[in-house]
């Protein structure tokens, strides 16, 4: 009988790709979803991608509620905890998002701690932010964001607090050796359907002329298919237990991303920004626009992730960031989101 894997938030961008890869490898997949009415679309998307959905089932569970998680995890041989709240706007209070992020992770871990290997999605933002960073910032699995650094956004604070709480719970509960945490960079690449995730908004806004110029910031990035592959590989390899696996290809500035898009989509080049805003102007604009304020921690720093150890552990070779950018844009065109 095939192993059964619980995938939390199975309707999400990364989770759908992870479910597809698990089904392609012969696993049974039980996906959690807040509203079971979304199951029809998830099944349709996975079937159209070539999956055998006869081995796919669903369980209703919400990260903000206790109900449903014990039932969802019962009988599962492993867990991919990918579901995570992502704010569409940053709140004013820097700790405002912490309770939801931390409590949601604890609900899943408490329900899943008997279910074999657990792979949890975190983020590279839990590694990159602290005072005194150099212009080129090496990022390793041993690095941690300083939660008390004043420039951190509420999202950065919440992801860091949730991951630290997960490791603490694993140590106290005696299952650290069965917990792997995946820390993705900015996730791009193609969605499986027209449900466009928040991380692709960057590409959509650049291609639709939403901004005439860009801040001077750089982001490590990764293709969603590779993020999913790291999750699946971690599930299958016990030696990843107790490790943080950075999922990242290369680092690109917004100017470099815009140049890639302009070259790949010349008919849209007039709308794609080419100018770069000076840092002083970004800081002034941030006073009046909280969305612009979210880039302040990134001004003047180019993170460079060390992922050779991830390839050694998992066998996943990351696609270049350029390919993830172009494939994301092509997908947005295909679903008429741009």
Point out the residues that are catalytic: 159
Say if CB 74 and CB 83 are below 8 A apart. no
**Cα–Cα distances in angstroms (integers) from residue 213 to residues 132, 205, 253, 322, in the given order:** 27, 11, 13, 20
Tokens of 140: 């390793």
For residue 336, is it left (φ>0), alpha (ψ between -120 and 50) or beta? left
3-state helix, strand, coil in the chain (%, to 5): 45, 15, 40
End-to-end CA distance of the chain: 44
Residue 58 DSSP code: E
Integer Cα distance of 47 and 212 in angstroms? 40
Show the beta-strand stretches assigned E in the chain: 4-7, 28-33, 56-60, 78-81, 117-121, 136-139, 179-184, 186-188, 213-214, 218-223, 244-247, 251-253, 275-276, 302-305
- Counting runs of H as helices and runs of E as strands, what totals does the chain give? 12, 14
The helix/strand/coil state of 98 is helix
Tokens of 6: 């619980």
Show the beta-strand stretches assigned E in 100-208: 117-121, 136-139, 179-184, 186-188
């Amino acid at each position: 009988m095939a192993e059964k894997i619980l995938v939390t938030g199975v309707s999400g961008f990364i989770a759908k790709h992870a479910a597809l890869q698990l089904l392609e490898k012969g696993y049974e997949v039980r996906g959690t979803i807040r509203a079971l009415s979304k199951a029809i679309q998830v099944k349709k998307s996975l079937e159209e991608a070539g999956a055998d959905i006869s081995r796919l089932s669903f369980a209703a569970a919400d990260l903000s509620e206790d109900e449903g998680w014990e039932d969802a995890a019962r009988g599962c041989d492993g867990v991919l905890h990918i579901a995570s709240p992502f704010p569409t706007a940053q709140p004013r209070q820097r700790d405002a998002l912490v309770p939801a992020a931390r409590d949601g992770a604890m609900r899943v871990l408490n329900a899943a701690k008997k279910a074999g290997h657990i792979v949890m999605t975190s983020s590279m933002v839990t590694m990159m932010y602290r005072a005194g960073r150099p212009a080129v910032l090496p990022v390793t699995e041993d690095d941690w964001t300083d939660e008390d650094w004043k420039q951190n956004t509420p999202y950065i604070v919440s992801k860091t607090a949730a991951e630290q709480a997960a490791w603490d719970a694993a140590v106290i509960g005696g299952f650290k050796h069965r917990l792997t945490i995946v820390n993705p960079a900015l996730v791009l690449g193609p969605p499986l359907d027209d449900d466009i995730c928040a991380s692709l908004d960057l590409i959509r806004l650049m291609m639709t002329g939403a901004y005439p110029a860009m801040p001077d910031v750089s982001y490590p990035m990764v293709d969603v298919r590779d993020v999913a592959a790291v999750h699946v590989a971690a599930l299958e390899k016990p030696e990843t237990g107790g490790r943080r696996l950075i999922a990242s290809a290369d680092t690109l500035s917004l100017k470099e991303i815009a140049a890639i898009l302009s070259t790949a989509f010349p008919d849209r080049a007039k709308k794609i920004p080419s100018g770069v805003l000076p840092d002083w102007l970004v800081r002034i604009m941030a006073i009046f626009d909280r969305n612009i304020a979210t880039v302040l921690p990134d001004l003047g720093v180019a993170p460079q992730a060390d992922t050779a150890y991830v390839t050694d552990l998992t066998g996943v070779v990351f696609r270049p960031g350029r390919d993830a950018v172009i494939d994301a844009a092509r997908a947005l065109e295909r679903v008429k989101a741009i």
